[in-house]
Amino acid sequence: MIRLARSIGLTLIMGACAQVRATPEGPGATPPSFPGDWIGSWEGAVHTATPGGALTPRFQMKRIVAATDDPGVYTWTTIYSGDAGDQTRNYLLIERDAATGQYAIDEQNGIVLEATLLGDSLYSWFEVQGTRLLVRERLQAGPDGAPGWSFEILTSGGEPGQTGDQITVEVLPVTGLQRAWLRRVD
């Protein structure tokens, strides 16, 4: 029975992964080229929410992506503006293996976050000071048809719970959400 449950679980995970890779919206649509189509300046409001709360605008975000003289390395600058003033993060996007969607975001302070391109979305998943963060970034058409950069961070903190009779499943508490829609400004 345990073997069957694991097999079913693995089948569900593999099916979900296959669905993630089928990316373009609509028949015959071409996904944006990564990172080529992402080059430029983008900006918009970041909204946040905690469990039970509505998404509320909190601060402004600007992302600037540009090629560098080093092939496979791009600036990945993020500027946050709000009540606390401006904070600039001069990161780099590094192509590790474009054929398999492997990238890294180098914070240039000793922290390098692994990132994976799955379909049309760039994902990174990491933990810092007891909080797990799942980041999804994607170019897509907005409600008005204009291209935009969808940026979302889901956070989880605290101890995981457990459930399951046949197999143990750890349940991670969701503690927050940050979501932004960035418009091209250049």
Torsion of CA 147, 44, 48, 131, to 10 degrees: 80
29 domain residue, yes or no: no
5 domain residue, yes or no: no
8 A C-beta contact, residue 180 and residue 19: no
Predicted pLDDT at 186? 86
Residue whose C-alpha is closest to residue 22's, from 113, 142, 95, 121? 121
What's the rounded Cα separation, in Å, for the pair 149 and 78? 13
69 domain residue, yes or no: yes
25 domain residue, yes or no: no
Q: Quick check: helix, strand or coil at residue 69?
A: coil
Q: Find where tokens 């496979």 sit.
A: 72
* Alpha carbon distances (Å) from 135 to 7, 28, 126, 154, 174: 28, 27, 9, 7, 13
26 domain residue, yes or no: no
> Model's pTM, two decimal places?
0.80
What's the rounded Cα separation, in Å, for the pair 104 and 160? 27
Predicted pLDDT at 72? 96
13 domain residue, yes or no: no
Predicted pLDDT at 3? 39
9 domain residue, yes or no: no
80 domain residue, yes or no: yes
Instruction: Tell me how many domains the chain contains.
Output: 1
Tens digits of pLDDT across the chain (186 residues): 343 333 334 333 334 333 333 334 555 556 679 999 999 999 999 999 999 999 999 999 999 999 999 999 999 999 999 998 999 999 999 999 999 999 999 999 999 999 999 999 999 999 999 999 999 999 998 878 888 999 999 999 988 888 988 999 989 999 999 999 999 998
Predicted pLDDT at 29? 58
Q: What residue numbers bound the domain in which 50 lies? A: 34-184
Predicted pLDDT at 11? 36
CATH, residue 143: 2.40.128.20
Predicted pLDDT at 64? 98
